[in-house]
Amino acid sequence: MRLWTIQDKWAYLRLQDKGVLCGDWRRLDSMGFKPAYKWLCAQMESRGISLKGRSPMWAWTHKPDMRHSMHRYRGKHGVVVLELEVPDHLVLVSNFDAWHDVLNDHFTALTDEEVDRMFDYPRDEVIDSWQRIFDNELCVKHQHHESCQATFPTIEIGYLVKAKEFWPRKNR
């Protein structure tokens, strides 16, 4: 599967040096999202995608427009967009907008009626609703943007198709 990931320059240099780039739990929990990430890891493992205890790597299923606000990473030393070809069986795709329901511990509502009851669902139904994030067509049909993200175990140097470096713009 063709994927694009945005990494800081140091991560790219590590990939070149070590041949592999792995997720790191220490870099993940600055906003308290670790339970959501752990849930996603369990979803990957249940689908036969082994993470070996590491956090997943993240990428886009479409080439990112680096001018778009959500891609304006301001790494001090620049960032590198890596174009990858990752084996399909190692990738779990989800809807980026709907993923925020998992991050925020909300019911993934698709209808107006579900939105009206969003905070009334029992915990098990909230967690069950999160399976919807893996059905992009369903999410797009019900008001989520068509923006898919992908998670996978590691970035291996053999997956690398192309790398393009970007530098942060100075504030005007």
Whether pLDDT at 64 is above 80: yes
Q: What angle do CA 147, 109, 65 make, to 5 degrees?
A: 15
> Which residue would you say has higher pLDDT here, 77 or 18?
18
- The domain of 55 spans 2-166
Condensed to tens digits (0 to 9), the pLDDT of residues 73-130 reads: 656 677 899 999 999 999 999 999 999 999 999 999 988 999 999 899 999 999 999 9
Report which residue type is found at 27.
R
Report which residue type is found at 29.
D
Whether pLDDT at 142 is above 80: no
Whether pLDDT at 139 is above 60: yes
Q: Note the pLDDT of residue 78.
A: 77
Q: Note the pLDDT of residue 172.
A: 35
The partner residues of 85 in beta bridges, in order of sequence, read: 2
CA distance readout (Å), 9 to 3, 13, 23, 64, 134: 18, 6, 15, 17, 30
Whether pLDDT at 171 is above 50: no
What integer is the mean pLDDT of 35-64? Answer: 95
Q: Are 58 and 3 in contact (CB under 8 A)?
A: no
Q: How many CB atoms lie within 10 A of CB 14?
A: 16
Highest mean pLDDT among 4-8, 28-32, 145-149: 4-8
Q: How far, rounded to the nearest angstrom, does the alpha carbon of residue 122 sit from its chain's CA centroid? A: 27
* CA–CA gap between residue 163 and residue 25 (Å, rounded): 25
172 part of a folded domain: no
Q: What's the number of domains the chain is made of?
A: 1
110 part of a folded domain: yes
CA distance readout (Å), 109 to 39, 97, 114: 18, 12, 5
